[in-house]
Structure 1
Amino acid sequence: MRSGVDPLKVKKIVQSVDLEFFDPSKYKPLDFSSIATLVLGSDLTGSNLEEKFVFLSVFKWEYRKGWDVLLRSYLKEFSGVDNVALYLLTNPYHSDKDFGNKIIQYVEGSDLEKPSNGWAHVYVIDEHIVQVDLPRLYKAADAFVLPSRGEGWGRPLVEAMAMSLPVIATNWSGTD
């Protein structure tokens, strides 16, 4: 409009999230045990996941999404005795799908020191989650986290909020 386009011809179209679809009252939580692989931390076999505080992050595997910031922060804050688990639903962007090894290589190549009581639990969700199951994925978490270095909008953040999850996100860019 500032360049001379008639304001009557300009329409703002925003992305949306279907609040009827992402309605937390309609869904039971997805069972992470059948779709996730433990990458760091000791096996939770025999323990009750429902008693753990579950962080969830959904992103494509690229530097901009801040996966390194997320891992560093999580692993500095929590250890193997803390009642937490971090689940990462990710997919390849300009990489292969070997996320477990990428995470281990990142941790081993960093200055992070392994706590005496072991790493906090980090899981990678190995399976493709179909659209119809996304609300159940969010429903299984206690908080959503995405420390992105820049978003145009941040669809997973809005989907998580629609499912009544507290969200931890960068206060900058499209998420601001």
Structure 2
Amino acid sequence: MPIEERERCILGRNHDGKELSTISITFEPAAMSLQAPSVTALRFPPILWHAPLRDPTGYAEEARHFLFALHAYGAPIAAREIRWNDRVAGVPPHQEQLLQQLLLKPPHPRSVYVLHILGSHLRPAPDARASIGRTMFETDRLPPGWAEACNRMDAVWVPSAFNRETFAFAGVKPEKLRVVPGLIDLDQYNPQGSPLALPSDHGFHFLAVFDWSLRKGWDVLIAAFVEEFRPDEDVALLLRVHSSLGYTVPQIYAQIENFLVKELGRDPARIPDILLLDKSLSASELLALYRAADCYVLPTRGEGWGRPFMEAMAMERPTIATGWSGMTAFMNAENSLLIDYTLQEVSEKAAAEIPTFRGHRWAEPSCAHLRQLMRRVFEDRQFGKELGAKARAYLETYFSPAAVVEILHRELLPFVEG
């Protein structure tokens, strides 16, 4: 099945193929397809990209990749920064220098304005040639106010057909929705090199990198890991976490222990090793962490895009993810391992944690299937190695700067004057 057709089926069916909803929305096939790049000389309008450019989040990392790629291909682009919090990403020095230049560059008075932010904050710029929103969301619908904000923009760029369908279902005008996937510069992701020194001497490490919340499925991951592997097996689970919800490290430890004891009935002293890594990492240290891992795994309940999955694949790590939502734009049965799931209403516990999700549906990953996938990668190291190589090759073909800049050019070309 072509990529665009496979993605369009995701919202309406579960992993067994049973229909869960009936949504009929017509989109232009050309706006949803992925093709190998054929970038030659490109003409762009002047662009002002407004985003959280220094934040250590997927939004910011994606925005930096867009910004640098457009600059590299000759687009007349300037940048302005949104500050969400005081956290700052460990950007390499040469990128920080370029970022500073683009932030200081005066924008053209008639620029195409790209506001890269949560959908509720989208606002058109009054003097812009056009106002474009770049946003995404993780569940089967949108929070109140998002559709209205999106409809005020001239266009809304979403990363995948998954969000094109969910946004339209929520009331965003279909003609405004355009699929512009995230990109990754593989030159920055070298699988070869030194791994990060870990506080573990185990022979196999599973890794998950995420913002601590129930949406990320940490409970399913821990359950699958401790139920599948014995304490005497040569394996550990590495959790590289931060918390935008404000959980402290002791609170995260307490949640894990409470889950193990009360939900699983397990003695925390008699399980395979789970290591929590909470210190800040530079860009080079994060790459070294991926090198130290043997498999990347996260049974998330929903993603707008899922950039850490993409980073792990770029580092040639076999990658396990739930088979629903944004990351299925670049993950498939040929390049990764997708966990079975059912669509369920967001639990009250998760809605209490993030009230925005109350009344929505998302994926509930199968713990039993996740156990099988983790065991397979653990037992068959050659299979994992080959899968990781396929993953990187797929990204290079369809999500390189050249491939995605061509899509950006197609979307921006109508705003070139003269």
- Please confirm whether the aligned pair reaches a TM-score higher than 0.5, indicating the same fold: yes
- Whether the aligned pair in 1 keeps the contact of 2:205 and 2:236 (CA below 8 Å) is yes
- The DSSP-based 3-state class of the residue aligned with 1:152 is coil
Inter-partner Cα distance in structure 1 for 2:226 and 2:324 = 23
Q: Which amino acid is 2:188 matched to?
A: F
Q: TM-score, normalised by structure 1?
A: 0.79
* Paired residues for 1:84-95 under 5 Å: 84-95=235-246
Q: Which residue of 2 aligns with 1:23?
A: 190
Q: If you compute each CA radius of gyration, which structure gives the higher value, 1 or 2?
A: 2
CA deviation vs aligned residue, 1:109-156 (integer Å, no higher than 9, x gap): 2133349x9210000002111223211110000000010000111100
Match of 1:101 in 2: 254
Structure 1 segment 129-148 matched on structure 2, within 5 A: 129-148=281-300
Q: Could you state the TM-score of these two structures normalised by the residue count of structure 2? A: 0.35
Amino acid at match of 1:61: W
Number of aligned pairs?
A: 156
CA RMSD, 1 decimal: 2.3
Give the Cα separation in 1 of the matches to 2:297 and 2:256: 17
CA gap 1:14/1:4 in 2 versus in 1, 3 angstroms = closer
Instruction: Name 2:273's counterpart in structure 1.
Output: 121
Counterparts of 2:180 and 2:327, CA distance in 1: 17
Three-state SS of the structure 2 residue aligned to 1:93 is coil
Query: 1:72·1:112 contact (CA, 8 Å) conserved in 2?
Result: no
1: CA distance, partners of 2:280 / 2:232? 30
Q: Where does structure 2 lack aligned partners over 5 or more consecutive residues?
A: 1-26, 29-172, 329-418
Show the counterpart of 1:14.
181
Q: What is residue 36 of structure 1 aligned with on the other side?
A: none
> Which residue is equivalent to 1:169?
321
Paired residue secondary structure (2:313): helix
Is the 8 Å Cα contact of residues 261 and 267 (structure 2) preserved in structure 1?
A: no
**For each residue in 1:49-68, what CA deviation from the matched residue of structure 2 results, as whole angstroms up to 9, or x when unmatched?**
2x521000001001110000
Determine the structure 1 residue equivalent to 2:44: none
Letter in 2 for 1:31: A
Task: Report the CA distance shift for 1:4/1:90 in structure 2 as closer, same or farther (over 3 A).
Answer: closer
Where is the helix percentage greater, Structure 1 or Structure 2?
2
Q: How far, CA to CA, are the matches of 2:220 and 2:299 in structure 1? A: 7
Identity %: 36
Partner of 1:111: 264
Residues 76-112 of structure 1: CA deviation (Å, up to 9, x unaligned): 0012101100000011132422222221121112133
- Taking a change above 3 Å as real, the CA distance of residues 15 and 167 of structure 1, as seen in their structure-2 partners, is same
| Aligned 8 A contact 2:212 2:242 in 1 | yes
TM-aligned CA distance change 1:97 to 1:4, over 3 Å? closer
Q: State the AA in 2 paired with 1:63.
A: L
Indicate if the aligned counterparts of 1:61 and 1:95 stay in contact, CA closer than 8 A. no
Highest relative contact order (Cα 8 Å, sep 6+), 1 or 2? 1
- Partner-residue secondary structure (3-state), 2:270: coil
Q: What's the offset of the Cα at 1:22? A: 0.8
Contact 1:67–1:147, Cα closer than 8 Å, also in 2: yes
Cα 1:160–1:4 change in 2 (3 A) is closer
